[in-house]
Structure 1
Amino acid sequence: MNSDYKNFNPEDFCHDESFRNWVLNPDPPTELYWNEWISQNPASAGKIETARALLLALQEKAPALTDQELDDITQQILNPANNSTISFWQKPFFRIAATLAIIAGAGMLAFKLYTEKEKLAFFETISPNLTADYIETENTENRTQTITLQDSSVITLYPKSKIRYPIHFSPETREVYLEGQAFFNIAKNPKRPFWVYTNHISTQVLGTSFMVKAFENEKNVKVEVRTGRVSVYRHEDLQKAKRQQNNEMAGIILTPNQSIEYTVNEARLLKSISRQPEILVAKTPENFIFDEAPISKVFSQMERAYGIQIIYDEKNMKNCYLTATFTEESLYEKLNIICKVTHSSYEIVDAQIVIHSNGC
């Protein structure tokens, strides 16, 4: 392993054998090394992602490239102002460079789609369906805009947001590309999964309602599920699975009241609970009326109501009881009251509520 990785630029990473093996043919040792290196060197995350995306795109576009060809293409993409255009475009492999729009931006992991040509290239890398006849809608107003798709799915597009979708969906799938924030209410059709692509992640659904927030100038991308189930993938994981023809792609499953955030600086997905969890069952007055109720009963009813697992030491809290009436309090307000009464505390870990208590 090279000890000077901190000084590498994206081009250097593309030429490094260990890095290329990790991106194109990963094994446990390289996965361990590079994941640890990235976590210890977050300032290099942007260069890492640019190089990784470049290698994956080149792998998609060409069967084999020599080191010199790779060097020339990388230079053409990362330093377009310093390259001549006289003879480059006469060679087929240099046309690859024209289709790759992955540009490093101020140490951040971001796809900079500066021109329509570059944007089409990015769509082509993710999904060829998005390069067909399409409609692109941008919300320039100060209020949300409602869009109804041909399959009766409804999209609520937030201000300063843009969405791109085909005039006609393909027979196999329904795909859209989002820049900004939108709420999706998707018509159920198990035979035609619905995909939402953003600048860093892909979200697959069959029929559900959920929020996606992916502004290009923000460092994180967030998905929140209201109903149904969705699977969320990093683009590189999705592309790798497609190349390997792996039908069991490793997405992260989200259910109602769960969310996931893609942290750009670390290039990782973090699962959590939605900011405002909603009650999922029929609400009745007795749902949250407790009179000297064992804490196990309280937590059990909250789990059923919100669909969120609560982890606690049942033996340690066997003498904890609660007398309280909850009406319009949020989940977090309920938890704060319960923890105050039982002298406990809580934290959110991987979309679960973990209670810490020394007993009552």
Structure 2
Amino acid sequence: MISKEQERILQEYLSGKESPEGKALFDQWAQSLYEDKSFQPSDSEEALSNAQQKMWVNISSKKDTPIIRLVTSWALRAGIAASVLLISMLAWKWIGKYNQPLPEYELSYQTIKTKAGEHATVTLEDGSKLFLNGASSLRFPTKLQGQTRHVYLEGEAYFEVTHNPQQPFIVSSKHLNTTVKGTTFDVHDYTQDNQANVTVLTGKVAVEMANNPQRNCLILPNQVCTYQSEKANLSQSSIIDARESISWRERKVYFKRERMDLVFRKLERMYEVSFQVKNPQLMDCTWIASFENASLEEVLQLMQSSLGIQYQIKGKEVIIKGICQ
């Protein structure tokens, strides 16, 4: 049976106070509710009370088992005003009747996409500005309702988020979930890349792996959180000037000992071409270069003179031969 102290912690958590104890109790309650197939909704106060006691007995017996993070639990938290008994009834009625997660709100979304070499700008209703890089897509709500401002990114975008501690801003991408309350930062996370980065210009940003929230980092201005698929981990580092991470907005490019496979991929997005590299060993080389508003031909000439490679342009295809020297 739920104790007074447990009820107090849970009600505080439901009202918006973040705490590990509250979150654990809530997840345990949600898991118990989800597994209790014998419970049938009823308007009877006695039936609801008995169901609640039964759920807490189940929770007590499963404290050492992993908790499944249900979408339902987070949706419920957004719309509930502190009555654990009422939550039990409403949640189970939804699960039992519809057998699907309870949505936070009936939000309408808009998606904007850019081609290689294109940029786009989106201004949300709270004044937040989102700058989309080439070959990227952004899905965002037309109305910022609910407890969070949640957008979905594939590719790269720079964010200038209006400060609102009561409504955190979340960017979900292929490998990362990035959460802020008001700051400026860049998210680089293309589906086909084995590396993703979040770079902070101002404020404070929390980053976690999309499939493993326990792997996370908290970064400040001029810091980068990097995901690498080979290691399935996040790493944190400092840089001299975070503004270089958004140099793409001004058609500037910086390569600082960057692997050639990443170099070619970035150039493909910038110039809408594909690279055919005849010598796979070239991919292990690194390149140091910077240029601004340069044509593809100018970039390739610089690569040829600095690395010693040869290139040939055939329409939208660039053939690369040789090995870096």
TM category (shorter chain) comes to 0.3 to 0.5
Normalising by structure 1, what TM-score? 0.39
Going by fraction, where is strand more abundant, 1 or 2? 2
